[in-house]
Amino acid sequence: MLDLKKSSNLFVGSNVIWFGNEVACGVGMQKIDILTLNQNAGRREYRIIELKDEPIQPDVVDQIEYYVNWASQNSGRHLEGASRWNIQPIIVGPPHDSRTWRETIEAFKNYNQKKLSLPIRYFEFEIYCGRSIVFNEVNYD
């Protein structure tokens, strides 16, 4: 049995004051899977969460960068007060594919070096016996 509140706090945050699902951003069909606004001690944090049902590929970083640029006061200016110090990109997916993992890590690191936002956080999930889901944050450094 999944304790959704406890598990989702890992990536959506614990002090959510706004939660958006399939948030339209930009022209066309681009949609952020989950966008949350958290408030902790008067400080806002925007979380841009990309959900994948297949092992992630390096090009997921292109999606994240597009969403961050759309949101940030430094470029798209669509989220009031969103800046490189309070936008947290998060990717959630099943266990990674070892054949593309090295390129994916490089894509994460290249994105992080640009300092457009906080560093990408990456979580993997596993489903056990069709009844329970376990989330683990992966340290890719």
pTM over 0.85: yes
Taking a C-beta distance cutoff of 8 angstroms, is the pair 89, 68 a contact? Answer: yes
Q: How far is CA 64 from CA 3, 23, 89, in A?
A: 27, 13, 7
Domain ranges across the chain: 4-11+22-35+57-138
> For the segment 11-26, what is each residue's pLDDT rounded down to a tens digit?
888 899 999 999 998 7
Residue 135 pLDDT greater than 80, yes or no: yes
- Pairing verdict, β 87-93 and 43-51: parallel
